[in-house]
Amino acid sequence: MICDALEHLNRYRGLHRNLDTAIDYLTAYHVAHDLSDLPLGRTEVDGENVFINVMEADLSPDSTRLEYHKKYADLQIDLTGGEGWGYTTLPGEEAGEFTGDIGFRTSPDAVSGTLGEGRFVLFFPGELHKPGVARPGCAHVRKAVIKIRMED
């Protein structure tokens, strides 16, 4: 898991070629546009290797259910608002079936933070994370989730 300011995104080049593709796209897009100009829905970057899902989301109170992925990393950026997130390395118990590229577990957070104001968080495959947590003064966000295929 990496949490940092968007202005430092280039520091993470070289970790994986698909992450580099995502960084290239976001950097080039940001030069010509504001990231909040990304359209709702899916934006293709490099087929199934890198794509962006922009969504409007109502935030919910903190819960103990965290998600994880096997193939994709999630690079999350709030375009409006600032949602809370949680992260843990505690395995917990499976909560339902793993479908597509998402599974859920019941685990307590070990670390938490807030997006918005030019920050991003990057969750790698297998890392338990909880997006969409309401924070005081913020119950709704517009966010971009850049899906980065990490499985070769």
Which stretch of 44-48, 49-53, 134-138, 144-148 has the lowest confidence by average pLDDT? Answer: 134-138
pLDDT band at 2 (very low <50, low <70, confident <90, very high): very high
Give the separation between CA 86 and CA 5, rounded to whole angstroms: 17
| Averaged pLDDT for residues 32-56 | 91
Helices (H), the chain: 17-32
pLDDT band at 32 (very low <50, low <70, confident <90, very high): low
pLDDT at 80: 92
pLDDT at 30: 67
Q: Where do the domains of the chain lie, and which CATH numbers do they carry?
A: 2-149 (2.60.120.370)
Q: Which residue has the tokens 């998402």?
A: 102
- What is the per-residue pLDDT across 84-126, written as a single tens digit (0 to 9) for each? 999 998 888 888 888 889 998 888 777 888 998 889 999 999 9
Checking if the pLDDT of 54 tops 80, the result is yes
Checking if the pLDDT of 42 tops 90, the result is yes
Strands (E), the chain: 2-5, 41-46, 50-58, 65-68, 72-80, 84-88, 93-94, 103-106, 111-114, 119-123, 128-133, 140-149
Task: Indicate the average pLDDT of the chain.
Answer: 90
Please state whether the predicted TM-score (pTM) of the whole model is above 0.85. Answer: yes
**Strand ranges across the sheet with 140-149:** 2-5, 119-123, 72-80, 140-149, 50-58, 41-46
pLDDT at 63: 65
